[in-house]
Chain A
Amino acid sequence: EAQVTQNPRYLITVTGKKLTVTCSQNMNHEYMSWYRQDPGLGLRQIYYSMNVEVTDKGDVPEGYKVSRKEKRNFPLILESPSPNQTSLYFCASSQGPQDGYTFGSGTRLTVV
């Protein structure tokens, strides 16, 4: 089944403790992206990648890192999480901008 898989689905962590949210897609898509969803703000793009080793900042990149060493994987790294990064995170992939993105099921992160 074609899908984007994120792990974990739920995560509670403490301020400053580094964490990684994994994302993998099995559709051989070129493009991958991370979004965060907050009530009343919709979805905002954090980072995106157009191919292996090619990444760029989205609208809200502060406090996040990404890497794209393999085509199928696009992990999101929070080096020093803070409470304002408590949010619902989505990974997505696409074959091209005209196709739209396929989204994962989301990771609900709480930073205390």
Chain B
Amino acid sequence: AQSVTQLGSHVSVSEGALVLLRCNYSSSVPPYLFWYVQYPNQGLQLLLKYTSAATLVKGINGFEAEFKKSETSFHLTKPSAHMSDAAEYFCAASPGYSTLTFGKGTMLLVSP
């Protein structure tokens, strides 16, 4: 079964610093990969997705993620954090069916 691991339940950065949220998936066949963001008391919003077209994927709000097959990773980055980026971020993987498996989430804290 597919599994998704997010390293670090909480990540703290200063405003303007690099954001790096880590995600690893377990699969011998690269699945479809996604990053979602959840703001307090809201649903999940799709940030970006990998569907094998390109290994570097750009998403909304200045976020991007790089797919590395050799490392089975799909880490999320943003060059400069903004206070409004504070939220919980979820990595998810789909093997190509309708199941979508989520990691446990990483809470991003941004300090001024």
Contacts and interface: CB of A to CB of B under 8 A. Distances in A.
Given A90-B43, A98-B51, A40 B100 contact: no
B105 A94 contact: no
Contact of B46 (A42, A50, A56, A100): A100
A101 B102 CA distance: 12
Interface residues of A, number: 28
A112 to B, nearest CB: 21
Interface in B26-41: 32, 34, 36
25 contacts: A33-B98, A42-B105, A43-B90, A43-B92, A43-B102, A45-B100, A48-B98, A48-B99, A50-B98, A90-B43, A90-B44, A92-B100, A97-B94, A97-B95, A97-B96, A97-B100, A100-B34, A100-B36, A100-B46, A100-B49, A100-B92, A101-B46, A103-B43, A103-B45, A105-B42
Interface of A: 31, 33, 35, 40-45, 48-50, 56, 58-59, 90, 92, 94, 97-106
Interface of B: 9, 32, 34, 36, 42-46, 49, 51, 90, 92, 94-105
